[in-house]
Amino acid sequence: MLVVDDSALLRKLLSDIVAASGEFRVVGTARNGLEAIRKVHALEPDLVTMDITMPELDGLGAIGYIMSEAPRPIVVVSALAARDSVEAIRALELGAVDLVQKPHRVTDESSAALGPQFLAALRAAAASEPSHVRVLARPRTAAPRAPDRPGAARLALAIAASTGGPRALAEVVPSLPRGLGAAVLVVQHMPAGFTRSFAERLDGQSELRVVEGAEGMPVEADTVYVAAGNFHMRVVGEAGCSTLALSQEPPLWGVRPSADVLFPSVAELFGSAVVGVVLTGMGRDGAEGLAAIKRAGGATMAQDRATSVIYGMPQAAAQSGAAAEVVPLDRIAERAAAELARRKRERA
């Protein structure tokens, strides 16, 4: 792998984590995007880790070039600053497959905390299919929305995603139309602090309002709620009068938020008025929750292998029988909208 960062200290830290793991080998380092591009061609690494803010050529420019000319898995290592977090989300749209938060200060404690997260992202990147990443070169911009609020949701669309998910969600969510009467509840495995920038990015591209979920927030139609990083999210109350509940219970399947926490709560509250979707990602989060939605009479689907950056989560949902349909990414919004519209008519 190639480690790219303008900080010599961070380059050494990341290289030391890799060396200690015994799972990967650093074949080179680079101080900026131009050097990274040269070393990608010279060293042909299997993986690249990429900083965002660098001199001469930043991470966005380097990622855009690498994914168009020499595609390979890229893990973004970014600081949680306002500008950096926004650009990190853009990096995922350009084709980077995962995101790790850079420590504010390099200490023994921060280094120890970074190691497991960094190695997990590298493992996911190594298992990914870069050829399945469709670069979102020009994100759409939504027309201004009317200020009216559509009222309480009586239907729900629940979506789970992990590695490759930000790019997949940037295709699915902006393709959902207004007027379905449904709330969209999203679990995307992402470091704490980046989910707000991700929600804001989707909000600017979508007909639906997109927000980061918060404790006690009312669950309204034509609104997308992205689970906050490091918090499980549930819906509580009853259909037509429900709110979000956040918690920091232990991670499930090693992740928090977990779709297998959210999905059963959605199934219990909305019953058959639910569509559940599992998108690309490592592991099996979402399969058990999708089964709960299916038992409640909801529609269930998983992304297909050909369009998944990692087929782990959708495969678990499909093989367990929880997903009634396996659907390519570019048809998921259409199928989900059709199922929601049918359930809305049945309740009219």
Residues noted as catalytic: 162, 189, 285
Secondary structure letter of residue 239 according to DSSP: T
Q: How many residues does the chain have?
A: 348
Give the type of residue at 179. Answer: G
CB atoms within 10 A of CB 164: 33
What's the rounded Cα separation, in Å, for the pair 292 and 215? 24
What's the rounded Cα separation, in Å, for the pair 273 and 286? 18
Question: Which residues, at least 6 apart from 5, have a Cβ–Cβ distance to it below 8 Å?
Answer: 11, 14, 29, 31, 49, 51, 54, 77
What's the rounded Cα separation, in Å, for the pair 5 and 68? 21
Secondary structure letter of residue 152 according to DSSP: B
Cα 317 to its chain centre, rounded Å, is: 17
CB atoms within 10 A of CB 342: 11
Q: In the 3-class helix/strand/coil scheme, how is 296-313 assigned residue by residue?
A: CCCEEEEECHHHCCCCHH
What's the rounded Cα separation, in Å, for the pair 149 and 218? 12
Secondary structure letter of residue 174 according to DSSP: G
Secondary structure letter of residue 131 according to DSSP: G
First and final C-alpha spacing in the chain: 56
Question: Which residues, at least 6 apart from 196, have a Cβ–Cβ distance to it below 8 Å?
Answer: 85, 212, 228
Number of H helices, E strands in the chain: 11, 14
SS3 21: helix
What's the rounded Cα separation, in Å, for the pair 134 and 200? 21
Cα 277 to its chain centre, rounded Å, is: 13
